[in-house]
Chains A and B, each alone.
Chain A
Amino acid sequence: MAALGARRLLRTGRRWFSETVPGAPSPPASPLYPPVVASATAKSKAAKSQRLQRFNQRVHAAATVEEKLRLYGKLQRPKYTVYPQTFALNADRWYRSFTKTVLVPGMPPRAAAAKPPVAVAGTTPEAGRAPEPGAEAPRAPQAPGAAEAAKTSEPAAGAAPYLDMGELRSLACDALLQESFYQNKKRPFLYRDQDHTPGPFLTQLVSTLAAFLSGRNPLLAASSLDLNPEVNYYWHHGEEVVVHGHRKGRVDPVRFQINDNPHLQIRVPKQLPEVVPLESDLGDVPVIDHKPSKLPLFKKQYENKVFIGSKVADPCCYGHTQFHLLPDKLKRERFIRQRLEDQIEVVYRSNGIASLFAWTAAQAMYQGFWSEADVTRPFVSQAVVTDGKYFAFFCYQLNTLALTTETIKNNPRKNICWGTDSKPLYDVVEDGNVKGFNDEVLLQLVRFLLNRPKEL
């Protein structure tokens, strides 16, 4: 043991001695020869991975976001076109597996303080009510056309301004009556019922509500409203073997592209706050063993577009809320006739998941993130899917963009989508009256529009 100790001492002593020799030239900092890497042009697996790495480095090193997007979607190959509004059975399970999304039913829990106290608006008859002590006197019904228009308002406890449900309800009813009853329109074109009444109604409703609530939500006051914008996103997920053609036998990533046209879109300059932390796990992502073409999904080769609704130079580059209108092909009566009642909700869900994934992922790409450079903060957006009468609300949080085979291996993060079932806003409109108006749906819509970052 002593000999060992002596040897160690000797060894360390020798090393210490050689370290402090003054004037010895230190070895050059950079190696004399470039690193030995695999060739980029050989027909080998190492060469293929070297080419992929070089491509990744090129995209990482791109100077501007436009350049990055251009390089990302440069190579055009056949890809699956994913349609958010689809009649495919159980499409929402497939879409969840393509986008690694967890579906949580119901709306995300918000802090109770953030919810604006809502004035109690009773469905009292129009024959007046005794004014509550200390409250405003109820205003006379605004229009004989809108039913249940008696407005009352109570000052909420605390300094937060109250929300006048009666006013909002009358705005919504007026928009509905304007489009369906008051304006003389020609008969709707064949199979274009949605463009005739529910489309304009949705536009009117959202624009008037957004303008009305802009005093309360400064984010809305700086927002940008688009009618019929384009939202596109292109991504890879999974792997497959090329079946036929000159590239037969090679292993290729499965490419997807979403080309969506929401009816209305609100974009804002500041991002919405995250709902849950980035690494939360709220459920499971369905795993489907079949090829995507069994859904049915079809392949096409065209330009790989990534677009949120306006170009990168726009200051309003984050999304707030989207509004989707379901076409005539997917109306409820058709599903009921074909005895597929359970697929009605699937239509709303698949539309919400696919559209919101495309929008949030495109927003993340506009900020410079992509599948090799995963997002460092979650991107949140909201959507309302409707067919004119039934409304379904969705909130999406994008936690990860890394869905390709290499990046998904060690990625525990999942994207989360909260969604409700579709509920009717009203029962029927006849003779200038809106019957059976549902305040819950309107309240949820208003809460969506009032969503804003904490510091505002």
Chain B
Amino acid sequence: FPGVRQAQWLTKTKLVEGLPPAVQGIMDNPAHGLQELEERAKHAVSHARLWDTPEVAPRREQYCPVLFENLIHICRLMSGKYPSLSKRMLARNCRIAATWERESILLQVRGLSGILMNSMTPIPPVASKEEVLATREHVLETFYPIAPTIDLQEVNVYKELNDTGQCFGDGYPYSHPHTLFFLESANVRTNRFRPEQLRAKMLMFAFGNALAKAKALHGNDPKVLEQPVVVQSVGTDGQLFQFMVFQLNTTDLVSNDGVKNLVWIDSDRNLYEKAQCVPEVKKRVVTKPAGISGFQPDTFKKFLALYLHGTV
């Protein structure tokens, strides 16, 4: 059962395929010098997949976080060009908790949400006001006769918590959640999320973060937000990347109509085709040389564009 559609109903969201035009604009802007970074991105992938360990081939539990760290390092080094990029802070292992009501069903999101990047300034809203109002006409698809809360764990909740793992009220300088990163790095394939489930998880956690931030900013009453809260999300298993930009337009989630939230999803982008650790030799002839094959610079450009979004 596709997870994103269920997540859409639960969070009252409308889906738009592809990344928003603001992010596309950053990608296409040649002034950012994304071409030269291709070489560095290729080195980053080679380092993570091939060179990182004295053994022949690193396992996914090792290469997935290393790849992420290398890509983030390249992105962070751009702050030599854009000094306002240094106003970011990475928080690992942060715990997220958000509760909301949806047609008289109380839902909540809890858990360790991967790696969160906070920034001092919020991301400006990606969709214009007209697009936000146009979502009123959009009808959320229901799954009659399947209840929308299928496969969700029913839990007795004693405290309706809304917090994002940081004490936002105490003058914390980096108070706006910017991007969430999810690394599926389990070695065994069954322990990893499938791409569809990963996208659903990204959506739920981005929504949770945005909702907690909105409630912290505007209070607990359900209403349509004047300043929509935008949270981005990137999920990967070391090779496939899923990009997502989520805009929270309303905290009024009880009813099924009215303004909806928006999410742009760009799914299943390969960063490279294959990483060959030892050259494949058939009958004394090297058929596949060692190295990374099929490198797609566009995926890295999207990663970097999502990172730069908001400060550029």
Contacts and interface: CB of A to CB of B under 8 A. Distances in A.
B66 interface: yes
Contacts of A208: 76, 86, 89
B50 interface: yes
B21 to A, nearest CB: 28
Nearest to A313: B51
B51 to A, nearest CB: 4
B90 interface: yes
Contact of B80 (A204, A211, A315): A211
B171 A211 contact: no
A142 B163 CA distance: 24
B179 to A, nearest CB: 16
A65 to B, nearest CB: 13
Given A145-B170, A314-B47, A227 B69 contact: yes
Contact of A310 (B52, B79, B85): B52
Contact of A174 (B77, B83, B95, B173): B173
Interface stretch (A212-220, A235-243, A280-288): A212-220
Nearest to B173: A143
Interface string B65-104: 1100110010011011101011001111111000000000
Contacts of B166: 182-184
Contacts of B77: 210-211, 214, 220-221
Contacts of B91: 178, 183
Contacts, number: 103
Contact of A211 (B79, B165, B170): B79
A16 to B, nearest CB: 61
Contact of A313 (B50, B165, B170): B50
A314 B45 CA distance: 11
Contact of B86 (A212, A315, A316): A212
B167 interface: yes
A224 interface: yes
Nearest to B118: A178
Contact of B53 (A145, A222, A230, A315): A230
A76 interface: no
Given A145-B172, A311-B51, A315-B43, A211 B89 contact: no
Contact of A307 (B54, B65, B167): B54
Nearest to B85: A211
A145 B43 CA distance: 39
Contacts of A230: 53-54
A278 interface: no
Interface string A289-319: 0000000000000000101001101111000
A316 B81 CA distance: 22
A174 B166 CA distance: 13
Contact of B73 (A225, A232, A310, A432): A225
B79 A314 contact: no
21 contacts: A145-B170, A178-B89, A182-B172, A183-B91, A185-B93, A208-B76, A208-B86, A211-B79, A211-B80, A211-B86, A214-B77, A221-B77, A224-B44, A224-B70, A224-B73, A225-B69, A226-B52, A227-B66, A313-B46, A313-B50, A315-B43
Given A208-B89, A305-B54, 14 more contacts: A144-B171, A145-B173, A171-B86, A182-B167, A184-B94, A211-B76, A211-B86, A212-B83, A212-B86, A225-B70, A226-B66, A310-B52, A314-B47, A315-B43
Interface of A: 142-145, 171, 174-175, 178, 181-185, 200, 204, 207-208, 210-212, 214-216, 220-222, 224-227, 229-230, 232, 305, 307, 310-311, 313-316, 432
